Amino acid sequence: MAQKDTFLHLFAGGCGGTVGAIMTCPLEVLKTRLQSSGLTLRPVFQVQLGTLSGTSVLRPAPVTPGLLQVLRSILEKEGPRSLFRGLGPNLVGVAPSRAIYFAAYSKSKEMFNGVLVPNSGLVHMSSAGFAAFVTNSLMNPIWMVKTRMQLEKRARGEKKMNALQCARYVYRTEGVRGFYRGLTASYAGISETMICFLIYETLKKHLADNRFSPANSGTDKRPSDFLNLMAAAAIAKGCASCIAYPHEVIRTRLREEGSKYKYFFQTGRLVALEEGYAAFYRGLVPQLIRQIPNTAIVLSTYELIVHLLGDASQ
């Protein structure tokens, strides 16, 4: 029975992740481009007062292109297909990564429930953190290849590397260690997962308590229950993304080819010094547009499949 439950969580997590990845790929490409240091910044002029002579001087200040400008640039220079760069490794990796994540989350939740206060916030955060650690450690090479493919800029009509060619190139130029660039930033991003699941499980428990209150008798799940779960997932992911987003920018910079970014804190310091703290939130808008519906789709699909197959197995 335990093996059957594990397979159920693996299958449900994989299905949810695959559906979400296909529907939101273009937004992920836009987010990655906005996060990168290779993005062309537009200089504008600001007035700076307080020179020794008492006069003002004009100095250039970079302005980050907006989401629509980056989208227009990709469509004009690289073609619409570039909006789906990295979809191959994403599809290869998203099903096993989501499957591993949800299976690890389910198993660790059982374990922590036996040690800590059952179904408490600490249990949810610990389970989410452990599952994210396992998933990031195993899946980083695939996400590294995906990011490199999304950052590759080739003019319309020029041949682009596929996933296998990109992986071979990384191995040839950087060795096995190259596949684990950005892993420290992914570990830092575990905080986002923990915050997300803490909020999600809290909202889920509140919805369940309200659902099964005396005024709402009945045990069968209704379509509105899954819509409520989607809303809970969207709220949880939106809050968590805004809080922990800077690690995403640092991770993308660490994965750039031949870049000056070497380590997590060194990268954070360089970005802050050279571009200001606002740079840590570049790409946040497409991230929210992508991740909020994606997380809602993934979690609700997961809950639906667990519910349907769980009932069928009883």
How far, in Å, CA of 63 to CA of 41, rounded? 6
**pLDDT value, residue 50:** 46
How far, in Å, CA of 268 to CA of 36, rounded? 13
**pLDDT value, residue 52:** 46
99-138 pLDDT, tens digit per residue, is 788 888 888 999 999 989 888 888 888 998 999 999 999 9
Per-residue pLDDT band at 49 (split at 50, 70, 90): very low
How far, in Å, CA of 97 to CA of 141, rounded? 12
**pLDDT value, residue 185:** 93
Second-level CATH architecture of 2-313:
Alpha/alpha barrel (1.50)
How far, in Å, CA of 296 to CA of 190, rounded? 19
How far, in Å, CA of 204 to CA of 277, rounded? 34
- On average, the pLDDT of the chain sits at 80
Place of tokens 């537009």: 42
Average pLDDT over every residue of 280-289: 87
Q: Where are the domains of the chain?
A: 2-313
220-256 pLDDT, tens digit per residue, is 566 677 778 778 888 888 899 899 999 999 999 999 8
**pLDDT value, residue 223:** 64
**pLDDT value, residue 179:** 94
- Of 33, 78, 37, 3, which is closest to residue 286 (Cα–Cα)? 33
User: For residue 237, what are its two tokens?
Assistant: 């992911």
Q: Hey, what's the torsion of the CAs at 96, 240, 186, 201, to 10 degrees?
A: -40
How far, in Å, CA of 47 to CA of 134, rounded? 50
How far, in Å, CA of 312 to CA of 302, rounded? 15
Higher-confidence position of 10 and 1: 10
Q: What percent of the chain has pLDDT over 70?
A: 81
Average pLDDT over every residue of 2-24: 70
